[in-house]
Amino acid sequence: MTGTLTDGPDRPLSEQVKEWILDQIFSGVLRPHERIVESMVAGSLGVSHAPVREALKGLEALGVVDIRPFSGARVHRQTHQEILDAYTVRSELEALAVRSALERGADLSGLSTLLGDMYHAVASDDMHELAKVDTKFHEAIIVASGNVELLRVWRGMQPRLRAYITLVTPGADPHWTVALHPPILEALQANDQEAAVEAIKRHFTLARERMEAGLADS
C-alpha cells in the first residue's frame, strides 16, 4: 500500500490512511500506547499530513487512538474490563441481529462461503486472514438484520475488540475459534431463532471465558 494511495470520492485519502493504520494495529506492528508518528505515516504512504491528521481523529472517535496535547497520537491501551465488557455487549447486539435477520427472512447464504474461508485460512496458517474473515462472518449477520443503527454501533466497537484480540491471544487455537461458528450457521440455515440466539450467545460466553483466562495469564 505504500505510495499507492489516490484520492477519490468513494475512498478519500483519510479513509485509506485510517485503514492502513488499523492494519498496522491489527497485525501487531503498532502496540498499545505506542506513538503514531504523523510524519512517518505520511512519508510511508506518500501523502501530506492533512489526511493523516484526519485519519487519526477518526480513529480517536472509534476509541482506537488517544490524542493528547504535546504528546501526539498513541494506540489506545484498553483495560481488561473494557474488553470483557465489549464481549458482553457484542453478544446482545448479535443476538438481536440474529432475531431480526430471521424475522425478515434475510438471505444468509453467504455465511457458508465465509465459514469455508475461515477453514481455508486455518489450513494456510494465516491467522491475520482468519481474523478478517471472522469479522466478515459476524458483520454479515449484523447487515442481514437490516438495522442500520445496530450496524453503526457494531462497527464502532469492532476495531477496538479486534485490535485487542490480536495482541492478547497470539497463541489462541484457530481450530477452536472456527469451531464456534458452525452451530450458529446451522441454526440460521434451519431458521431456528431460539437455537440461533443460543448459539451466538454461547459463542461469546466461551470466547469471553477464554479471553478472561488469557488476560489473567498476561
> What is the pLDDT tens value at each position of the chain, 218 positions in all?
444 566 666 688 999 999 899 888 877 788 888 999 999 999 999 999 999 999 999 999 888 899 998 889 998 887 888 888 888 999 999 999 999 999 999 999 999 999 999 999 999 988 878 888 998 999 999 999 999 999 999 988 877 666 555 544 545 688 998 999 999 999 999 999 999 999 999 999 998 888 888 777 65
pLDDT score of 191: 96
Please report whether residue 4 resides in a domain.
no
DSSP 8-state assignment for residue 151: H
Q: Do both 17 and 37 map to the same domain? A: yes
DSSP codes of every residue in 176-199 = HHHHTSHHHHHHHHTT-HHHHHHH
CATH code at position 66? 1.10.10.10
Domain total of the chain: 2
Q: Do both 139 and 196 map to the same domain? A: yes
pLDDT score of 29: 86
Q: Do both 121 and 182 map to the same domain? A: yes
- Whole-model pTM: value is 0.75
pLDDT score of 167: 44
Q: Evaluate whether 145 touches 96 at the Cβ level (below 8 Å).
A: yes
The domain in which residue 24 lies consists of: 13-75
Q: Do both 145 and 210 map to the same domain? A: yes
Handedness of CA 22, 67, 60, 86 (dihedral sign): positive
Q: Do both 96 and 189 map to the same domain? A: yes
pLDDT score of 39: 93
Q: Do both 97 and 174 map to the same domain? A: yes
Question: 15 exposed, middle or buried (CB, 10 Å; 0-12, 13-18, 19+)?
Answer: middle
Q: Quick one: which of 57, 61, 67 has its CA closest to 17?
A: 57
CATH code at position 194? 1.20.120.530
Tell me how crowded residue 94 is: count the other CB atoms within 10 A of its CB: 25
Beta partners for residue 58, in sequence order = none
Q: Evaluate whether 134 touches 157 at the Cβ level (below 8 Å).
A: no
User: For residue 3, is it left (φ>0), alpha (ψ between -120 and 50) or beta?
Assistant: left
pLDDT score of 2: 47
Tell me how crowded residue 67 is: count the other CB atoms within 10 A of its CB: 15
Tell me how far apart the alpha carbons of residues 165 and 195 are, in angstroms, rounded to a whole number: 27
Q: Three-state SS for 58?
A: helix
pLDDT score of 6: 64
Rounded to an integer, what is the distance from CA 84 to the centroid of its chain?
15
Residues in the chain: 218
